[in-house]
């Protein structure tokens, strides 16, 4: 089985690039199950039901979020209508929604879990390590995938080494910059950050002009997603059908043509 994971979709350019490229990626990598982090998909912060539906219609199985999970308030009472949408399990306050789902694919149960880091972030109620230990006692699945939405590289590596024997893959998200440390260790796939799907010439997907006006001139600007050709970032993980363990990870970074 092959699982495609794409990092944070940022704004319209990221959404359009994913919708355009997803069929090709799924075909090229022979993908069976697709997970995408969409925490910045609605104008850079949060997600809407319309975006959720467009990703589902495009063939995404599970959509994860992060610290911006609740940024678009219209999603708050819509989680029951978006069964494949998860927000970090340890979000504080966890006002609504769920932190994991279990789905079936090729006769296997796949659990997808979303967690927040605690270092240089202040939205997590509990350590992702504590929460993960608790979840492992209640989740029944052959394959367990974690989207660890965290700022600190070390926190993500620590998590991977603690849980590598019990989970199938740990994908880091949130920094929007892909790391080149993808690896398989003891049957668990890992990358510190999958990267983003959003405008390449930007500051983490955000308008350069807007961020510089805020930084250099102390202007009180609103978040403006950058416009322009988008990069697509993520990984494909191959899972052995007999052992349910990861055997290969391929890093994907499709940059726009120069
Ligand atoms: Fe993000
Ligand atoms: Fe984030």
The CATH number of residue 123's host domain is 3.60.21.10
Q: How far is the CA of 179 from the centre of ligand 2 (A)?
A: 16
Q: Is 68 a catalytic residue?
A: yes
Look at residue 34 in the predicted model and tell me its pLDDT.
Answer: 98
Q: Which residues contact 10 (CB under 8 A, 6 or more apart)?
A: 40, 41, 44, 176, 196, 197, 198, 199, 202, 204, 205, 206, 225, 226
**How many folded domains does the chain comprise?**
1
Residue 174's pLDDT is 98
Q: How many CB atoms lie within 10 A of CB 56?
A: 16
* Residue 204 CA, ligand 1 centroid: distance in Å: 8
Q: What is the C-alpha to C-alpha distance for residues 35 and 54, in angstroms, rounded to an integer?
A: 14
Domain that holds residue 234: 2-254
Residues in the chain predicted with pLDDT less than 70, given as ranges, are none
Going 211 to 50 to 177 to 24, the CA torsion angle's sign is negative
How much distance in Å is there from the Cα of 68 to the middle of ligand 2?
6
Token reading at 153 = 């590289």
| pLDDT attached to residue 76 | 94
Q: What is the pLDDT of residue 55?
A: 98
pTM as predicted? 0.97
Nearest to 6 by CA among 257, 258, 251: 251
Q: How far apart are the CA of 24 and the centre of ligand 1, in A?
A: 24
Cα torsion at 204, 56, 183, 256 (round to 10°)? -50
| Residues near ligand 2 ion, CB 5 Å cutoff | 66-67, 174
Beta-bridged to residue 40, according to DSSP, are 10
Q: Which of 68, 149, 174, 176 is catalytic?
A: 68
Q: Which DSSP string do the residues of 86-139 spell out, in sequence order? A: ---TTBSS--SS-SEEEEEETTEEEEEEEEE--TT---BSS-HHHHHHHHHHH-
Distance 174 CA to ligand 2 centre (A): 4
Which of the ligands is closest to the CA of residue 37? 1
């Amino acid at each position: 089985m092959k699982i495609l994971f794409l990092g944070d979709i940022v704004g319209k350019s990221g959404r359009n690039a994913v919708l355009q490229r997803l069929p090709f990626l799924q075909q090229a990598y022979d993908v069976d199950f697709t997970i995408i982090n969409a925490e910045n998909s609605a104008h850079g912060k949060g997600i809407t039901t319309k975006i959720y539906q467009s990703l589902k219609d495009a063939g995404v199985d599970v959509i994860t979020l992060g610290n911006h999970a609740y940024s678009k308030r219209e999603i708050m009472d819509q989680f029951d209508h978006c069964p494949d949408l998860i927000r970090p399990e340890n979000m504080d306050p966890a006002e609504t929604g769920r932190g994991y789902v279990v789905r079936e694919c090729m006769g296997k149960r796949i659990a997808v879990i979303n967690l927040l880091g605690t270092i240089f972030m202040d939205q997590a109620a509990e350590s992702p390590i504590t929460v993960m230990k608790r979840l492992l006692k209640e989740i029944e699945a052959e394959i367990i995938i974690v989207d660890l939405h965290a700022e600190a590289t070390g926190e993500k590596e620590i998590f991977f080494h603690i849980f590598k024997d019990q989970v199938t893959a740990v994908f880091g998200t949130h920094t929007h910059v892909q790391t080149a440390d993808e690896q398989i260790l003891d049957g668990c796939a890992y990358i510190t950050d999958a990267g983003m799907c959003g405008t390449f010439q930007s500051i983490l997907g955000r308008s350069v002009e807007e961020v510089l006006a805020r930084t250099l001139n102390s202007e009180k600007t609103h978040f403006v997603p950058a416009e322009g050709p988008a990069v697509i970032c993520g990984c494909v993980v191959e899972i052995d059908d007999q052992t349910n363990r990861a055997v290969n990870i391929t890093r994907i970074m499709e940059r726009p043509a120069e």
